[in-house]
Chains A and B, each alone.
Chain A
Amino acid sequence: MNLNLNQISYSSNENTEYVVEMKGIVKRFFNVIANDHIDFKLRRGEIHALLGENGAGKTTLMNILYGIYTPDEGEIYVNGRLVEIKTPRDAIKLGIGMVHQHFMLVETLTVAENLALELETSFLNPTEEVRLKVEEIMEKYGLKVNLDAKVWQLSTGEKQRIEILKAICRGANILILDEPTSVLTPGEVRELFKFLKRMASEGKSIIFVTHKLKEVMEISDRVTVLRKGKVVGILDTSKTNEYELAKLMVGREVIFELEKAPSKLSDPQLVVEKLNVLNDRGQLAVKDVSFEVRGGEIYGIAGVAGNGQKELVEAITGLRRVVSGKIYIGGVDATNRGPSAVRRMGVAFIPEDRKMGFVPSMSVAENLVLKRYRESPFSNRFFLNYDAIQLYAKKLIEEYKIDTPSERSPAKLLSGGNVQRMILARELSNGSEVIIAVHPTYGLDVGSTEYVRRLLLKRRSEGAAILLVSEDLDEILSLSDRIAVMFEGKIVGELPCEKADIETLGLMMSGAYARR
């Protein structure tokens, strides 16, 4: 449905049907077109989902609307008037508020101080003014937060509440939420949706940026689908379904259920016994955790980040010391042996944070042997054998289809997806019997995600024992044979995949089972 320019009125707001109109938006980064002549319209009082894979251009478009980026071409109309949004300040003045995926909060300041940054407060004693202004709003919408707490002390759900509070305090009538549920438990997600529906009924207009189809179906009134920077569909949610949306998003039929044949199980390759690990602050992050993973199975650990998964994985891979307990790999004691030794025992590690898994300034080839450069044939005591390294690299580049001009070009030129392929190539090709994968598809588009999952399943059928740690419940559910949930450092439940569903897992993740 196209809105004719002539129909835009410049009089009172109530007559305008669309609160936001973006026309012909173009934005380029280097040679990549992030937004390719995009038209986007938001109606008053609706919850509008902006759907697309990672890299489709959703966040870019919203950053333009919020003034973080400026478009190379195109126009923006707010409440019917042509506007120029050059900084977030301009956007705020127009009543646009944004809740980012990565919170824009200053961790070392208190909540009140963070809010003081946003609001127009006076020079002296700004936190007192904040208190007065904000308490009323907190009551009205039920958004309670402790104003005097330092932000780093709060939970993710609470931090998100602060972000929403910020937006409302600034008088936002148009709220942009960028992938808000990626850090929430299912219970917190439900609360968020309740709250959004309440805001919409009070006349606020909401843009909900996501790549999760289920959420689109659950919460939105309409949905705009982006693919590779272009708009490929604008639909009423009630008139569509997940399959149609997925097809639009990816451009082809998407296989939702990957083939997971029952595989032959062998002895436990990874055994963890009563493990206790401290975090950086000296507190116990992993508490008496025990489990085992057998060859030929995928053991998934679900749970919101911050419940000890990071420390658990670091302990198993030898990057963090263990306070008490044991880790056995292939039957051999691997506790506190250090990363090199653990690797030599046959453990591959795919970290969540890609940045820690490679060295951008070194070549792709060198990155591919990052963990094995000390072994022959890659080196000979003291000296490296670059011929062997390059041969090996060429092989892997072809096998894993890493898109790079040459094995000698620096790794920093690779795109995110290709960096992940490089890391996977390195980790999965050295015949490891135990694979630790932490949210391996984080930030990857649907195509790459499918590829990674297929790879993991292949290794599973070849007999590898795979420990999958992820916040993405879809990933856990589709890949794991057995699923455990971690909450506050403990394993609060373990289920075979047939018996696991989102409800039960969600309850476990929010600690309901822990209190028993």
Chain B
Amino acid sequence: MIEIKLEKRPLPSRIEAFTYSVISVVFALAVSGAILKVYGVDPVSAYGIIVFHVFGSLPGISETIVKLIPLTLCGVGLTVAFRARLWNIGAEGQLLLGAIAATGVALFSGDLPSYVLIPLMFLAGFLAGALWGAIPALLKAVLNVNEVIVTTMMNYIAIELVRYLIYGPWRGAKEWGYPITDEIPDAAKLICIPGTRIHIATLAIAVASVILIYILITRTTFGFELRVVGGNPEAAKYAGVSYLKIVLLSMIISGGLAGLAGTGEIAGIHYRLRYPESISMGYGFTAIIVAWLARLNPLLVLVTSIFFGGLLVGGYVMKIMLGLPVAMVNIFNGSTLMSLLLCELLLQYKIKFIVKRREMH
């Protein structure tokens, strides 16, 4: 009879942590590769095609950066929430709320010049996302309601809200047949790097957020309190840290950053509100893995966003060139998360297999 025994390990070094993160990714590639094989596709050549198109061509790289923007913003926000042990699964919905707010401001604020309109849109996006995050935060802090379920439900509510608007009151007068809003005025559109879809303003905001949040977590009293709440909520009260304040603020930050991402998608890419699946192709969920793989370090989020951004682009490449469904990305994500889990465990415990022989007595 084989018994599995877990022995606790002393603290892992940074190199070990890095190695295991790499192993997780390799494992996920292997799992996805296996599924590709089942579909009759050779995984090695498939991966080769992806890498070439994604990282070896200009459109590939630029599209990766396009995806990186929302992933980074959401991912950085999640590092804050997760550090407080708040499982914010609702980045998806918070992003959509930001998109809604931005569109609303753009369509209905008359003839404002760019330098007023665009900051206004970002502000509205942040506030809307923050609000969407504050609701589950309040429920958790005051009533101890499970935030996983609430944020997930609010994702679905946000999706329906978008659909309601594009089919209903905000339906575009100028576009018939398609459920989309009017295009936002030119003053509301963000400038992109010529030849690409990279909207510069949001990219700058994303990079800035990485640095700011990093400083926030490591150097400020708020970051200190955040880590206390996440490390030992009991001790938080004892230390005089307000649980309510930290929970609320971290979800406001997390939701707000996601909202900024939503604004960016509208003002920089779509220029209108449309099907929710078109605006966010799982950015909110992918950001969870982005944050985890980055070990909740905002600086590393930039790195992991590049990787997962490239993966998303790769998913489309696979669809176009190989006819595979985009859902493959979901499988990759799921297996990455699972292997990350396993690696976390391997870091903490040494697994021993003990073969026990039955004794006679």
A residues near B, CB below 8 A? 30, 81-84, 319, 338-340, 343, 349, 351, 355-362, 366, 370-371, 373-374, 379, 382-384, 386, 410, 413
Contact = CB atoms under 8 A, between A and B. Distances in A.
B128 to A, nearest CB: 26
A281 B233 CA distance: 21
How big is the B interface, by class? 20 to 34
A319 B238 contact: yes
Given A359-B227, A361-B231, A373 B238 contact: no
A371 B240 contact: yes
Interface string B282-319: 00000000000000000000000000000000000000
B146 interface: no
B234 interface: yes
List the 6 closest A-B pairs by CB distance, nearest first: A340-B240, A359-B231, A361-B231, A356-B234, A359-B232, A339-B240
Contacts of A358: 232, 235
Interface of B: 7-8, 10-11, 219-224, 227-228, 230-232, 234-235, 237-240, 359, 361
Contact of A338 (B219, B220, B232, B240): B240
Given A359-B235, A371-B239, 6 more contacts: A319-B238, A338-B240, A355-B232, A359-B232, A379-B221, A384-B224
Nearest to A320: B237
A355 B219 CA distance: 25
A466 to B, nearest CB: 19
Interface of B is mostly: helix
Nearest to B237: A319
Nearest to A373: B224
A422 B265 CA distance: 50
B239 A370 contact: yes
B270 to A, nearest CB: 37
19 contacts: A30-B8, A82-B361, A319-B237, A319-B238, A339-B237, A356-B232, A356-B238, A362-B227, A362-B228, A371-B240, A373-B221, A382-B222, A383-B219, A384-B219, A384-B223, A384-B224, A410-B11, A413-B10, A413-B11
B359 A84 contact: yes
Contacts of A386: 219
Contacts of B227: 359, 361-362, 366
Contacts of A373: 221, 224
Contacts of A359: 227-228, 231-232, 235
Contacts of B235: 356-359, 370
A509 to B, nearest CB: 28
A384 B221 CA distance: 6
A339 B238 contact: yes
Nearest to A31: B10
Nearest to A369: B224
Given A81-B361, A384-B224, A410-B11, A343 B231 contact: no
B220 A382 contact: yes
Contacts of A82: 361
Contacts of B239: 339, 370-371
Nearest to A370: B239
B117 to A, nearest CB: 31
A360 B237 CA distance: 15
A147 B58 CA distance: 77
Nearest to A340: B240
B221 A343 contact: no
Contacts of A360: 231-232
B301 to A, nearest CB: 20
Nearest to B236: A359
Contact of A383 (B220, B237, B359, B361): B220
A413 B219 CA distance: 23
A371 B11 CA distance: 26
Contacts of A338: 240
Contacts of A379: 221
B36 to A, nearest CB: 40
Contacts of A343: 240
Nearest to A83: B361
Contacts of B230: 361
Nearest to A82: B361
B221 A382 contact: yes
